[in-house]
Structure 1
Amino acid sequence: MINDQVQKQQGGNASTNLQGQSIVINQGISYSDARDIALDVYKSNFLQLSHDAAELARTRAEELTDSFLTKLKETNETAIEQMKQPAMQAALYEAQKQYAKSGDEYMEYMLVDILVQRASTPERNTKQIVLDEALEVVSKLTNVQLNILSLNFGLTRLSKNSIINIDSLINYINNELLVFVNPNSDYHQSWFEHLAYSGCVVLLDATWYHDIPELLLGNYPALFQKGFDEKEFEEFVGKPISQFNTLLMHCFHAVNLYQFNLMNEKLLVDKANELGIENELTNKLKQYFNIRLMNKNEVKEWLLETVPDIGFLLEKWGGENNQLSKLQLTSVGIALAQANYKQKITNIDFDLGIWIK
């Protein structure tokens, strides 16, 4: 009797043998597979509600899931594979749960942004843990409290390479700082205490803080140079000014004067070294750079004259009874601050990995 069902195969080292009458090979998961997984997780876990409430909650969960997967597909399609991981499913369920309860469109953006970052962080590290925590915390904060985080982030954690002249600085103040300020708000002490309770900030000693002129002066010192003429420069440096043309430009605040064209002291030193300027002379240039800077009071006067709307922020930031300037963002606070920043400011993106590894 002939057995025509006998099958025999051989394979070499490191080979994969497949045997059967019908073989289906599945490598990875598709967008629709990921969506099915996500919604199954939601249906299996979310609490039972009355019919109408359940339908609304399900619709919101689907909206969030579709928004998340669409954005993930656009930005990092390979990360859809993470939907097979229990930890990623748990993170998505947390976001679904939060949005199903609130239906707040603004929160949806925040949750989707954090989820995309989470899916793009497959290895377990501090960044992944922070993003998981941020998904739980975001629903506990008001829009004003999120803006407080973003304002602090923009002033104390962010130094923008795009700020290269006075116009770009003014644009940054108007469109990336003041948008987070509510001039009708008293910034109640309980808001800051809640931010601390939620793990987003540490409340600092009320006697210590950096004021806004000091922060801007520290980040963008070249924009606050008072300028100098040829005679002043040559008397201090001891060399003809013509030897340093590549390091100088007309002053932002007085076109008849000169200033250094590097944003800060470090960049000036690096450029001088690149040009082969001797160390002793480089130190003199560095010293003169700092001598010709405005002081904090002069920066404040210039700000009030140039951007009058900043007056409210200057007052609130430095007020004796206000905590705006006395917050230190935690890792979770930074994650929420930058997500909120991206939601409010168009054409802005951040790599959270710069601040959290």
Structure 2
Amino acid sequence: MKDQNQNSGDNSTNIQAGTVNIHGISAIEARQIALDVYNSNFMSLAGIAKDIARSRAEEITEEFINKLQQQNPIGLEQAKDPDFQHALFGVQKEYARCGDREIGELLIDILIDRSKHPTRDILQIVLNESLTVAPKLTTDQLAALSIIFLFRYTINNGINSLSTYYKYLDLHIKPFASSISNRQVSYQHLEYSGCGAISISSLELPQLIRNQYGGLFSKGLDETQFASKQFTIPRHSPIFSRCINNENNIQVNTINEEAIKTEADNHNIPESEIPKLIAMHNESMMNHEEIRDLTINGAPYMSNVFEIWSNSAMKNITLTSVGIAIGHANVKKDIGELTDLSIWIN
């Protein structure tokens, strides 16, 4: 579990367990309720096993209450809700059984997200199910969910250069790159557990990268090729720039097709020119092998990701709401912050 020590500035206040009272229930009361839930429901074990299980349940409860106070203190009120108690007991029970710190941290993050949804809606239902499914997954399956989620379901709008692209991969993909597996049974189990569906159709990783961050992989057009497009837009328009990979050439100054439409609107470019801009963007793009090589050049660990994606069901699987929720939580556990899950599940 992560260290709970806090540092504060001159004008800030640290919140530790037992110091706040939100809507009539304190952290101390919430912790006691949580432990009562465990003691009242967990199976009777004998001897050392009983002591180990209780110790683990207390550990995960303490970690949860501390983190809940930091991230969503109003969620302490959820300790009185029967459905939330049921979800909490599931976390205690699973951690008491296995003692796996990685799973424990993941379950805490999912449970904190669950505390933000006191009313019965689709997110609450998905998060409840995620708490049940996540302990059934192995490290390589969690890593696969994280990478599939990031490449298939997200785009980072802060990426505007190869350097920011590589930094993004270092932060988000590298932690999982060495853990993924090409074993078919790994992805069959993800399907069986309700995290995804394996289809006949496939989507190669270079194509996904091209769709999302294609502007980084432009070869551009030389002056003659550019002139042949017969744009009514001036050459000096901000919609054009020197090619990121060849300063002698010209490229569309955006990251992907959606960005072209947005920038065209921002610069009052005639709608009739947008298809020509998109065509230029796509025609000047590197091929899949070149995209792969340039990515690996700045992020060598991506060699394993490309290899396994191409030779496993990673390219065939689409995630369910539960798979997205677990992948989201697993990424958030490692990087600390991530856009709210409701962006993908609503």
| TM-score (norm. length: structure 2) | 0.87
The partner residue of 2:191 within 196, 200, 203 is: 196
- AA at the equivalent of 1:339: A
- Secondary structure of 1:82's partner? helix
Change beyond 3 A, Cα 1:285–1:328: closer
How far does residue 116 in structure 1 lie from its aligned partner after superposition? 0.3
CA distance in 1, matches of 2:23, 2:205: 54
Bigger shift: residues 47-56 or 125-134: 47-56
Residues 151 and 208, structure 2, Cα contact 8 Å, conserved in 1: yes
**Residue pairs, 1:213-292, within 5 angstroms:** 213-239=206-232, 241-244=234-237, 246-292=238-284
* Alignment check: 8 A CA contact 2:226 2:250 kept: no
Q: What letter is aligned with 1:262?
A: T
Query: 4+ runs of 1 displaced by more than 6 Å?
Result: none
State the match for 1:299 in structure 2. Answer: 291
Residue identity opposite 2:92 in structure 1: Q
Alignment of 1:28-43 (within 5 A): 28-43=24-39
Pair 1:338–1:27, CA change in 2 (3 A): closer
User: Do residues 79 (structure 1) and 93 (structure 2) align?
Assistant: no
Residue matched to 2:341:
352
Counterparts of 1:96-115 in structure 2 under 5 Å? 96-115=92-111
Aligned positions, number? 325
Give how far 1:241 is off.
4.0
The Cα of 1:146 is off from its aligned counterpart by 0.9
**Cα deviations by residue, 1:253-309 (Å, 9 ceiling, x for unpaired):** 012222222222222223223332223234333332222222324323433555444
Cα deviation code 1:49-94 (max 9, x no counterpart): 1132222211211111111111111111112111111001111011
Against the structure 1 CA distance between its residues 240 and 44, is the aligned structure 2 distance closer, same or farther, given a 3 Å change threshold? closer
Contact preservation (8 Å) 2:220, 2:250: yes
Q: Give the Cα separation in 2 of the matches to 1:27 and 1:216.
A: 47
User: How far did 1:318 drift?
Assistant: 1.6
| 2-structure distance, mates of 1:47, 1:86 | 19
Residue 279 and residue 324 in structure 1: after superposition, are their counterparts in 2 closer, same or farther (change >3 A)?
Answer: closer
The residue that corresponds to 2:121 in the other structure is 125
Over aligned residue pairs, what C-alpha RMSD do you find? 2.2
The answer as to 2:314 corresponding to 1:324 is: yes
- Within 2, Cα distance between the matches of 1:284 and 1:115? 48
Task: Check the 8 A contact 1:149/1:336 in 2, yes or no.
Answer: yes
After superposition, give the CA deviation of every residue in 1:235-259 in whole Å (9 maximum; x if it has no partner).
Answer: 3134474441x21222110122222
Distance 2:337 2:77 in 1: 27
Query: In structure 2, how many angstroms separate the alpha carbons of the residues matched to 1:240 and 1:31?
Result: 62
Contact residue 234 and residue 240 of structure 1 kept, 8 A: no
Deviation at 1:186, TM superposition (A): 5.6
Residues 39 and 304 (structure 1 numbering): CA distance in 2 closer, same or farther, change over 3 Å? closer
**Which has the greater radius of gyration?**
1
Who is 1:9 aligned against? Answer: none
Write the distance in 1 (CA, Å) between the matches of 2:95 and 2:171: 28
Task: Report what 1:340 is aligned to.
Answer: 330
Show the counterpart of 1:311. 303
How big is each residue's C-alpha offset from its partner over 1:109-140, in whole Å with a ceiling of 9 and x where there is no partner?
Answer: 01110110011111111111111111111211
Percentage identity across paired residues of the two chains: 35
| C-alpha contact 1:114 1:135 (8 A) present in aligned 2 | yes
| Equivalent residues of 2:215, 2:253 under 8 A apart | yes
CA separation of 1:269 and 1:327: change in aligned 2, threshold 3 A: closer
Cα 1:234/1:175, change in 2 over 3 Å: same
Amino acid at match of 1:195: L
1:163 match: 159
Is residue 90 of structure 2 the alignment partner of residue 55 of structure 1?
Answer: no
The CA distance in 2 between the partners of 1:145 and 1:314, in whole Å, is 16
Give, in angstroms, the shift of residue 149 of structure 1.
Answer: 1.1
- CA gap of 1:168–1:243, structure 2 versus 1, over 3 A, is closer
| Residue number among 176, 182, 196 corresponding to 1:187 in the alignment | 182
**What is the TM-score with the length of structure 1 in the denominator?**
0.84
